[in-house]
Amino acid sequence: MSGHDCESCPVAAELAPMGMQVGAIDRVIALAGNPNTGKSTLFNALTGLHQHTGNWPGKTVTRAEGGFAWNDVRYKIVDLPGTYSLLSASQDEEVARDFILFGQPHAVIVVTDASALERNLNLALQVLEITDRVVVAVNLMDEARRKGIDVDTRSLSRDLGVPVVPIVARTGEGMPALLSAVDGVSSGAISTSPLRVTGTPEFEHAVRELMTQVEAAAPGVPNSRWLAIRLLDGDARVEQALRTGELARMVSRQQQRDVRFSKQIALQGAQ
């Protein structure tokens, strides 16, 4: 389906940018991705904002939030700083990771660059470790086509276990498909089975043991596997979250979906 035919179809017409007016919100969506994948372009296309963007890591430092409505659902969208991974302790990566983990967005859109997919999938896989509510957007399809690169998004979707949508954020191509995937994943209508990378047997054994312990310490925590791996790695932030009871709080928040908290994290990211 070509995107240009779609721009006039009724589904696309329902997108209503809400700019900074994010008062009453139904769902929170996070945008993650490597630098230079067009995250901010997508953010601007959805919200109608003109966020200042640039070609270097961490350029997204302020005003990373906006809103849009689609199909009568009001979304708040949080543009996270571009990062290559979520494993180190740099400020950008912590902001992104903490939001995905503690901000508990209803869905995470991982924006990837079609012409550098392998490099981008490293981050996508790391996001999939934390949450299963992921939609992968393969952006810059036009540039990839120009370079003769073809991306089989169905194969990707099958392998990753989450919806994968080809888009061109600059022109709006693929937007309706992306929005309906986001709708499906964030409402729970689409159930995903994310690819999780397994390690050596001894590693897996240790992970499984810690998982049970983490679940005991914070009953109902959704990403115990990822948390266990981080604890094994000696991640100070996760250790602290466990010690202060933040993880337990997270679980209790899961039902009430505290939007204010997510905003707070996003603001911390801005500072």
Partner 1 sequence: MSDRVIETVPPDADAVLARARELRRQLSGGFREEAVKSLYAEAERVARRAVSQGGDMRAIAFEQRIDRLVTSPWFGLPIMLVLLAIVFWLTIAGANVPSALLAQGLFWIEAQAVTLFDAAGVPWWITGFLWHGVYRGLAWVVSVMLPPMAIFFPLFTVFEDLGYLPRVAFNLDFLFRRAGAHGKQALTMAMGFGCNAAGVIATRIIDSPRERLVAILTNNFVPCNGRFPTLIMLGTIFVGASFAPAFASVAAAGAVVGVVILGIGFTLLMSWLLSRTILRGEASAFTLELPPYRRPNIGRIFYTSLIDRTLFVLYRAMWTAAPAGAVIWLLANIRWGDRTLAAISAGWLDPLGHAIGLDGVILLTYVIAIPANEIVVPTLVMAYMGTGMMTEMEGLGDLRRLLVDQQGWTTLTAVNLMLFSLLHNPCATTILTIYKETLSAKWATVGALLPLGTAFLVCFLTATLARAFGWGG
222 to 251, contacts with partner 1 by CB under 8 A? Answer: 228-229, 231-234, 239, 242-245, 247-249
Do residues 30 and 103 lie in contact, with contact meaning Cβ atoms separated by under 8 Å?
A: yes
Does residue number 58 form part of the binding site for partner 1 (CB under 8 A)? yes
Judged by CB under 8 A, which of 1, 52, 71, 188 binds partner 1? 52
Q: Which of 134, 43, 58 is nearest to 94 (CA)?
A: 58
Judged by CB under 8 A, which of 69, 117, 190, 259 binds partner 1? 117
Does residue number 190 form part of the binding site for partner 1 (CB under 8 A)? no
Two tokens, residue 11: 């589904």
Find the shortest distance in angstroms from Cβ 248 to partner 1: 5
Two tokens, residue 116: 């550098």
Does residue number 268 form part of the binding site for partner 1 (CB under 8 A)? no
Interaction pattern, residues 69-108, with partner 1; x per rule: CB under 8 A: ---------------x--x--xxx----------------
Interaction pattern, residues 10-29, with partner 1; x per rule: CB under 8 A: --------------------
Do residues 107 and 185 lie in contact, with contact meaning Cβ atoms separated by under 8 Å?
A: yes
CA distance 166 to 139: 6
CA distance 28 to 264: 13
Does residue number 221 form part of the binding site for partner 1 (CB under 8 A)? no
Q: Using CB under 8 A, which residues numbered 29 to 48 contact partner 1?
A: 34-36
Strand partners of residue 168:
173
Q: Which is nearer to partner 1, 187 or 213 (CB)?
A: 213
Q: Using CB under 8 A, which residues numbered 158 to 187 contact partner 1?
A: 159-160, 170
Do residues 90 and 43 lie in contact, with contact meaning Cβ atoms separated by under 8 Å?
A: no
Q: Which of 17, 30, 55, 15 is nearest to 108 (CA)?
A: 30
Two tokens, residue 126: 């790391």
Q: What secondary structure letter does DSSP report for 98?
A: H
Does residue number 55 form part of the binding site for partner 1 (CB under 8 A)? yes
Judged by CB under 8 A, which of 71, 155, 191, 254 binds partner 1? 155
CA distance 150 to 152: 7
Does residue number 118 form part of the binding site for partner 1 (CB under 8 A)? yes
Judged by CB under 8 A, which of 111, 121, 130, 165 binds partner 1? 121
